[in-house]
Amino acid sequence: MDEKELLETEEIELELFLQAVYLKYGYDFKSYTKKHIKRRIKRRVKLDNASSISKIIEKLLYSEEYFKNIILKDLSINTTEMFRYPEFFKMIREQVIPVLRTYPSVKIWHAGVSTGEEIFSMAILLKEEGLLNKANIYATDFNIDVLEVAKKGIYSIEKVKKWTKNYQEAGGKKSFAEYYTAKYDSVIFDSSLIKNVTFLEHNLVEDGSFIEANLIICRNVFIYFNNELQGKVLKLFLDSLIKGGFLGIGSKESIKYNESKEKFNEISFKNRIYQKKYLE
Amino acid sequence: MKCKAIVIGGSAGSLNAIIEILKEIDNDIKIPIIILVHLSDDYDNELPKLLDKYVKGIIKEAEDKEEIKENIIYIAPSMYHLQIEDNLKFSLLYSEKVNFSRPSIDVLFETAAESYNGELLGILLTGANSDGAKGLKRIEELGGYVIVQEAITAYSAIMPEAAIKILKKPKILNLKKIGEYLNGLMK
């Protein structure tokens, strides 16, 4: 088989793989951008010393353990950091917090939180603004293992330098070190920061709305979806926000290809912060 | 071979190299050029602004889900991987680094090679790591055309040398020649 034929065959195998995952376990990755999924699967083929994607399909069909512990993790992306894109958090502090302050209590939904760095970032920000005690935060991800990491709040000490810089650039009011304790090569974050956080398994692709939030944050998740699924998820966010509620997405993500964009006002294009219109 | 896109990657020293190349192009852009340069981990990419004065037509940052147009020069954003999907739209990805790089040239080149089914040109410039070599090989495997900057003319020879080592028949050119070649393709 020459390379072009091999590529065509691989494309067929990729479709079969996604269909197998969907039919057997109900996880729908068919509307994710293909290239990223393919890269992950081919990496798995190599690590397993398998000769083709087809061999992996057989394995996942006959072993739920293999699917849950290996494949599902391969397909979830857990690259994140605290106060990622600091200007975003600065803008939340300056433009969104003053509005949230006017409500007796606020609900915040962090979708696709991964290992929880953004939850701690938000909790620190809310604490400094005196809003932490009246906030209920819902942290969701489709991968429950990462939520367990988030609950513990233990991270590698190597990352702290970058995060401290981010925190300062995000307009942090204190010393970042006040929020964690260092032990050996780890840091553990103050657990009182997440006392109002509810961790839930939720899959943006299949699960519906469960909240009327004042603020939804979902950064760099959206980007893995094709246009159609992006539209569906944006609608879900729209339905899950109160009128005048805010949405923050990743700095390179866009709502411009979606119908629901008309229902939002742009608060900051650069930081991708939007507000649901008060009037339909 | 039909050439439907041109992908260019570089690292250390490649900003000047890109300028040298773009300066040689005075024909209108008829084939999209997609440029990926490793930058420091900065959130904003100033390259489209910086390079604008060397370009006759449109130069802009590649956006997620944006359709690739023939007459545009695209720059990969910083901090994200840039991929080309089968429908010839860009997709961005915030995942782990590849070859210690994000964006990674391999990710762009490999996805471009497959989505254009080999009908493209890949160019690898100066750089101090080996990102891009595998991607260029993938372009070659699928029947695409590959050019590597002549190592002795490169600010850092590591990247071109890594590619030359694994390619079957790369065209090896200096920057002026690469620019002239691209200008010829735009006729």
- The alpha carbon of residue A218 is apart from the nearest alpha carbon of chain B, in Å, by 13
Structure tokens at A106: 């606020």
Nearest by CB to A4, which of B83, B107, B117? B117
Does any domain span residue B107?
yes
- Select from A116, A256, A123 the least CA-distant residue to A200: A116
Is B141 in contact with A36 (Cβ distance < 8 A)? Answer: no
**Residue B40 clears pLDDT 90, i.e. is over it:** no
Give A61-76 pLDDT, tens digit per residue.
Answer: 999 999 999 999 999 8
CA angle A23, A109, A38 (to 5 degrees): 35
pLDDT tens for A129-156 read 999 999 999 999 998 899 999 999 999 9
Q: Contact B83/A227, CB-based, under 8 Å?
A: no
Q: Which domain holds residue B50?
A: 6-185
CATH code at position B138: 3.40.50.180
Give every CB contact of residue B152 below 8 A, 6+ residues apart in sequence.
Answer: none
Backbone angles phi, psi at A264, to 5 degrees: -120, 150
Instruction: Determine, yes or no, domain membership for B167.
Output: yes
Q: Amino acid identity of B92?
A: L
Do you know the residue count of chain A?
280
Please state the ipTM of this predicted complex.
0.88
| Average pLDDT over every residue of B15-20 | 94
Q: What is the mean pLDDT of chain B?
A: 94
With CA atoms as reference, the chain B residue closest to A4 would be: B142
pLDDT band at B72 (very low <50, low <70, confident <90, very high): very high
Q: Which residues of B are catalytic?
A: 11, 38, 131
pLDDT one-digit tens code per residue, A224-274: 998 889 999 999 999 999 999 999 999 999 888 888 889 999 999 999 999
| pLDDT confidence of residue A59 | 96
Q: What is the average pLDDT score of chain A?
A: 95
pLDDT of residue A165: 96
Q: What is the pLDDT of residue A245?
A: 97
Task: Answer yes or no: do B117 and A257 touch at CB < 8 A.
Answer: no
Structure tokens at A141: 């991800």
Are A224 and B93 within 8 A, CB to CB? yes
Query: What is the C-alpha separation between A220 and A223, in angstroms, rounded?
Result: 6
Each residue of A12-59: pLDDT tens digit?
999 999 999 999 999 999 999 999 999 999 999 999 999 999 999 999
Residue B1, in any domain of the structure: no
- Per the domain annotation, does B13 fall within a domain? yes
Q: What is the 3-state secondary structure (H, E, C) of B83-128?
A: EECCCCEEEEECCCCECCECCCHHHHHHHHHHHCCCCCEEEECCCC
Among B41, B42, B43, B46, most A C-beta atoms within 10 A, so best to mutate, is B43
Task: Please state the three-class secondary structure of chain A as a single string.
Answer: CCHHHHHHHHHHHHHHHHHHHHHHHCCCCCCECHHHHHHHHHHHHHHCCCCCHHHHHHHHHHCHHHHHHHHHHHHCCCCCCCCCCHHHHHHHHHHHHHHHCCCCCEEEEEECCCCCHHHHHHHHHHHHCCCHHHEEEEEEECCHHHHHHHHHCEEEHHHHHHHHHHHHHCCCCCCHHHHEEEECCEEEECHHHHCCEEEEECCCCCCCCCCCEEEEEECCCHHHECHHHHHHHHHHHHHCEEEEEEEEECCCCCCCCCHHHHHEEEEECCCCEEEECCCC
The minimum CA-CA distance between B6 and chain A, rounded to whole Å, is: 19
pLDDT in tens, A171-185: 999 999 999 999 999
Q: Which of B:86-115 have CB within 8 Å of A?
A: 86, 91-96, 107, 110-111, 114-115
pLDDT tens per residue across span B80-127: 999 999 999 999 998 889 999 999 999 999 999 999 999 999 999 999
Continuous segment of H or E residues that includes residue B72: strand B72-75
pLDDT for residue B21 is more than 80 = yes
Domain residue limits, chain A: 3-75, 86-276
Please tell me the CATH code under which domain A86-276 is placed. Answer: 3.40.50.150
**Candidate from B83, B95, B115 with C-beta closest to A79:** B95
With respect to residue B136, please indicate whether it lies within any of the assigned structural domains.
yes
Q: Using the 8-state DSSP alphabet, how is residue B68 labeled? A: P
Spatial CB neighbours of B115, under 8 Å, sequence gap ≥ 6 = A35, B84, B85, B86, B88
Is B65 in CB contact (< 8 Å) with chain A?
Answer: yes
Residue B108's CB is within 10 A of a number of other CB atoms, namely 27
Decide if A36 and B95 are in contact by the 8 Å CB cutoff: yes
Q: Which pLDDT value is given to residue B42?
A: 66
Q: What is the pLDDT of residue B43?
A: 64
Q: What is the pLDDT of residue B41?
A: 65
Indicate whether B47 belongs to any domain. Answer: yes
In whole angstroms, what is the distance from residue B139 CA to residue B113 CA? 5
How many structural domains compose chain B? 1
* Shortest CA distance from B45: residue in chain A: A252
